[in-house]
Chains A and B, each alone.
Chain A
Amino acid sequence: MLPVTGSGAPPVAGPAMLSVSGLGKSFPGVRALDGVDFTARAGEVHALIGENGAGKSTLIKVLTGVYKAGEGEVRYDGSAVRFATPLQAQHAGISTIYQEVNLVPLMSVARNLFLGREPRGRLGLIDFRRMHREAQEALRGLGVRVDVRRPLRELGVGAQQMVALARAVSVDARVVIMDEPTSSLEPREVATLFGVIRMLRGRGIAVIYVSHRLDELYEVCDTVTVLRDGKAVHTGPIAELDRLRLVALMLGREIGDVREEGLTKFSGNHDTEAQPVLEATGLTVRHQLDGVSLTIRPGEVVGLGGLLGSGRSETAKAIAGALPPDSGRVVIAGVPVRTGSTPAAIRAGVSLLPEDRKAEGIVPGLSVRENIALAALPGLSRFGLVDEARIDRVVDTFMKRLRIKASGPHQKVGELSGGNQQKVLLARWLAMNPKVLLLDEPTRGIDVGAKAEVQKLIDELADDGLGVLLISSDMEELIEGSDRVVVLKDGAVVEELTGDAVTEDRLMRAIAAAPAAQATTPATSGGDDD
């Protein structure tokens, strides 16, 4: 087969190289994969996409021997296989490049490239000269010029990723799996990567490509499989699937599907003409945010839309001071705030409900009472001594107002349900009298009843004059809860939907839109939203 260059017609796909059929995998409480069929063919670049929790990672881990298949069959090169360990899969010819580089940072570049298969001289000792020469050649082939004797960690993340790529390519792989390989690459490196992918395809290798960047998928992939909620909902040539349809499949939405309002607990709009309570301009974080600007007026709920990895959480964190931006300004109620400092942002009136409630939100071992009082503690103390009576009053007020269900204020927060944990966090911030609430996935992982209640609370808070930023992967919630939606893509604002334009349809179109000028696409993107 001749090497194919360019993104033109895909080559005639070869025989199935790595496939699964009827694959199921369960974890306690979660059905991660449910009857998935997936086939990667020789000489084909196969895109694997899906939102959070769709099952991509699980599928890859089964393919590479990290997890065992629950039900169903894995076939490799024509015969059924069961890889007991990742090493077995590697020896069989399945090479994986993970998002986080999995190399040994203290060893030299060359040693990393040849780890476990070093060229040997007489006496079985490592032939360093040969190893260095071959490493240099392998990397030059990828357009990377570095001293291969240097420790790997001295290289930039992009260059490290290229070393990982060189390693994957130089072993005799027949299947190469790439998990978000471009998340930390510069545009030039991305171009090199795509060149390598096409070369691999030309050699008849099956490439499985995981990414959230639609532009890349259309540029380099032949086939696409969309996973949603553990099921493969679509497989087919990517050229036959338009972007909008692809986004709709990922999000599980129908295009043009006009929904009636009232499915969520959000009520009407809060449009106001007041001065903005939050003005963020040009927030930029290398590889994560690219000049994000947005404003929120008091009493307004602004939604932040976009796919996984588009920089939603990063935007919220940058505003809240938890992610120091390289540049950009944050102004709260007309007063500039020092960026990169959580205490400064909090003093100015910014409160963040983080996405990872369990790890970054609650303090699980402390009581409901202590958790609510945590941020406001200095204000509830005199000369460093805690004023217990005042804390009791505050805690009592908010437990009633937010209808927190606990056996009492002294119950440990770790024992509460997700919805009540979220309410405790809300109470913690409301006790600070904030001006702006940043809510990152406020209803994820909490049950339906509590979800409606939290949504209603958000509404009430906006009515009380708070500026709210709402991040949600739940389309319905985002559309119905927001007065405006700012759409992010690859770390930059691509569109702002206002008024009647706040519809699922418009949102999906904005997410799916191809970049205006292909050549100048900034190579920034969010890290994983997780």
Chain B
Amino acid sequence: MSVKNAAAFRRPKRLGIDRRRSLEAYIFLIPWLIGVCLFFAYPIFVSVRLAFSDIVEFKGLKTAWVGFENFRYIFFYDINFVPTFLKVVTDTLLNTPLCMVFSLIIAIFINRKMVGRGFFRTAFFIPVLLGTGYIMKQLLGMGVDGMTVTTGILVPKLIADLLGPSITEVVQGFLDRITVVLWKSGVQIVLFLAGLQGISGSLYEAARVDGATEWEMFWKITLPMISPVIMMNVVYTIVAFFTDTTNPLVDYIYKMNFTNQQFEYAAAMSWLYFIFALVLCLASILMMRRHIYDSGAKG
């Protein structure tokens, strides 16, 4: 072929620079691409198919297509799903902003030069060490087994008498929630701390020369500069709350899978659940996008 001859004439062994770079990239990606096929894409495919079908024969997973039957069952017959789901949703919507505010405050605190900085840093990192595992679940008194160690800081008796039972209940609920939230914000604090360290000190110096107060510097420098971290943290927090093993819905889905063995139904539930998490993440990204500071760096 003439084309082949022409190609031979133009040094055929050399690929174009773009093609070659592409090829190199795929060499680096080989392990991950294998992983995507085996541990991600295929299980997701099976899981989606399960959500829309009924298992006819367990061996080899033979399924029959039933359309939205499983989803219909969730909404119209299951008395547990909707209340648990709503509880998880309100928890997430309340906990995420609380977590952001507190972890940012704590990160700003321990970013300052002060006595006992090492101690405080370790103290605030302890929840990460305990992880999201069983230990934390028990320590926070959310164990399904009913054995609790603590249910957060109690409102002192004196103040409780002063406020009356109904207000105390609200305050107590708030305190309980804060304990839980704080205990889950270890990673967020670390990320914020890293973000704060990345802000150039010259900005603060310039502001101080111009007579800015600490308060003004927080709103005009710290917050805008740290906004990318806030966005990342919001997404991380939503996902962390959603995948947490202390989450009642995750527990419910788990039981449906491995105790009741209704795999199709569990798959349908978990996809509904995932779609909600995705919508929440996307919504928060879109909402915050306009306010994110962009340094103009590539990336």
A interacts with B: no
A-side residues, CB < 8 A to B, are none
Where the two chains meet, the residues of B that have a C-beta atom closer than 8 Å to any C-beta of A are: none
